[in-house]
Structure 1
Amino acid sequence: MKKIINQALIGFLKALSYLPFPVLFALSDLMYLVLFHVVGYRKKVVYTNLRNAFPEKTEQEIDAIARKFYRHLCDIGLEGIKLHSISEKELDKRITLYGLEKTEAYFRQQKSIILLGMHYNNWEWSASLQRLSSHQLLMVYNPVRNNLEMERFILGMRERFGAISVPVHKSARTAIQFDKTERPGCIWLGADQTPAPNTRFWTTFLNQETPFFSGPEKIAEKTNQPVFLHYVRKLGRSRYEVHFIELFPEPAKANPDDILLTYIDRMEKIIQETPEYWLWSHRRWKHQRPEGIKLIERLPKQQE
């Protein structure tokens, strides 16, 4: 019965993806009313995260950010489903790419690269960038628990333009393997996700003690693959700029901690500028730093 229900839901989502954008925008507006005013989807999590991240803001300012966030959340939810059927022509109208010439220069040198992304604006459409990049795009993901049908649907959308989905536990091995193939790889990591509390990398982020996966710095140090920031800027509803910003051309020569610290600094500044576009409904600060794990200091201002 569960499988039948999942298949019916996936069929509905596929049909939904063929609706034109004006209809999707209308549905998104309706979803906002339901999620925010009726259901109150994760409102406690969202408001708590915002208050802790911005203690200097008034309650009215926090409420304004939260309302904008919920509207944006509904938009990107439907945009993600649209990835199932959207055409390349439509994507070209809605995504402008900057910095690809830098990554292509590394491809010509037969060098793989590391792309550190975040759950900010529409990260799902980045799977379509494979058609513009010579590198093999390797998108790291957390497997969907107990729902194989839904996982196949999501991975099918992400891989329809040629990207390869890589389970998080295989990310380091895959990055190293593609460093030795004829076609260099570009491993995309959503590095703002929450690891287990016993991770060694804890620092301050948005005014709170926060753990980060140390995998990106380990991969960068071992492979010396150039590290880029993947930044998506919103121009309007379903219209974005995607920026590839080089952070470390030779990460093996850097202090390993500085790789993540630089990424965190850049990400924090972006979120502080337009906070409504980050994923505030995620329980990012659900862990407390264990005793015995040292808090890593942020980079001094002059080194940012």
Structure 2
Amino acid sequence: MPLSILYTLATGVKWVFYYIIAYRKEVISKNISNSFPQLKPKQIKALSLQFYGYLTDQLVEFFYGVSISEKEMLDRVQMVNEHYISDYLQAGTPVVLVAGHQGNWEWAIHRLALSNNLYDVVYQKLNNPSFNQFTMDVRSRFPGVTLLEKRESILATRERKDIARGICLAADQAPQKPESAYWTNFLNQDTAFFTGMERFARDYNYPVVFVELIRKERGKYIMSFEPIANPDYTDLPKGEIIERFARRLEKSIIQYPEQYLWSHRRWKHTKPDILSFKW
């Protein structure tokens, strides 16, 4: 089915999501209002509707990705500054790529697979086995990307440490154990971050690059790369790499607020009085 028709369907689904089934409506509204306390109720509603439009577009784009051609994918996702990755990899140095839940990360995987570099993508296994397998099949349509289940990623990284490739992480998910997370102020709120991204970088002395994927128009994205940390990390304060990621992602969200995944229960944890994590 042509993407233009799918977008027409997505527009209808947006109103169903918002007005009829109210998909995570309270979560979305609360996340937006806490992140942007200066917004008035009408502005929060307007931004929520923009987000629902973005979310339903993502949904149809995911299914469109089942059959999209290499040529069309190259046209729809433009990569900027990939030389930051290529320079490291050509020198034999793996790179940690960190991103937030912005833009269309499913298309980002396809686009990375069609580049001249190798990439490992760490993913969270879905609860539904059938849909998890379907998602895996879609993500692995094109060569160039190796999918690593999150629980296996530490061992796999050790085994693949001599392969020059990018290691892609969605680094803005809510940790399951808030007491062992790294906490910082993010979008006006105390926010927990996984420490794994920084541990990867420090343990293997890998550089870290921020990935931004922004939609410029329906079906057209720009994926850009920006170094945020380079080894040696001996004199870099612990937590600084996470801080740099948080600040850069925050800047992008403020600039493109409708493209962040507000339906995610990102702030479900309250900061504990005592933190137990150690580097």
TM-score (normalised: structure 2): 0.94
Mean Cα deviation higher: 107-116 or 198-207: 198-207
Aligned-pair CA distance for 1:142: 1.1
Distance 1:114 1:124, change over 3 A: same
Distance 1:156 1:251, change over 3 A: farther
**Alignment partners' CA distance in 2, 1:51 and 1:134:** 40
Q: Which has the higher helix share?
A: 1
Q: Is the 8 A contact 1:106 1:112 kept in 2?
A: yes
What RMSD over aligned residues (CA atoms) do the two structures have, in Å?
Answer: 1.5
1:249 aligns with 2:230: yes
Aligned-pair CA distance for 1:198: 2.2
Correspondence list, 1:16-165, <5 A: 19-128=1-110, 129-135=112-118, 137-145=119-127, 147-162=128-143, 163-165=145-147
Q: Is the 8 A contact 1:251 1:259 kept in 2?
A: no
Q: Is the 8 A contact 1:172 1:215 kept in 2?
A: no
Corresponding residue for residue 262 of structure 2 = 280
Q: Is the 8 A contact 2:94 2:206 kept in 1?
A: yes
Corresponding residue for residue 187 of structure 1 = 167
Q: Is the 8 A contact 1:95 1:241 kept in 2?
A: yes
Q: Between the two structures, name the one with larger relative contact order (CA 8 Å, sep ≥ 6).
A: 2
Aligned-pair CA distance for 1:50: 0.7
**Alignment partners' CA distance in 2, 1:88 and 1:255:** 43
Q: Is the 8 A contact 2:180 2:276 kept in 1?
A: no
Gaps of 5+ in 1: 1-18, 296-304
1:220 aligns with 2:201: yes
1:113-160, CA deviations, whole angstroms, 9 ceiling, x for partnerless residues? Answer: 10001101111111111221322x111111111x21111110111111
Aligned-pair CA distance for 1:255: 2.4
**Alignment partners' CA distance in 2, 1:99 and 1:175:** 25
Aligned-pair CA distance for 1:291: 2.1
**Alignment partners' CA distance in 2, 1:86 and 1:134:** 21
Corresponding residue for residue 152 of structure 2 = 170
Aligned-pair CA distance for 1:251: 5.4
- Letter of the 1:161 counterpart: F
1:45-73, CA deviations, whole angstroms, 9 ceiling, x for partnerless residues? Answer: 00011111111111111111111000000
Aligned-pair CA distance for 1:186: 1.1
Which residue, 214, 218, 229 being the options, matches 1:237?
A: 218
TM-score (normalised: structure 1): 0.86
**Alignment partners' CA distance in 2, 1:66 and 1:142:** 26
Aligned-pair CA distance for 1:294: 8.5
SS, match of residue 180 in structure 2 = coil
Q: Is the 8 A contact 1:140 1:171 kept in 2?
A: yes
**Alignment partners' CA distance in 2, 1:148 and 1:251:** 41
Mean Cα deviation higher: 227-236 or 162-171: 162-171
Number of residues of Structure 1 aligned to a counterpart in Structure 2: 273
Q: Is the 8 A contact 2:99 2:170 kept in 1?
A: yes
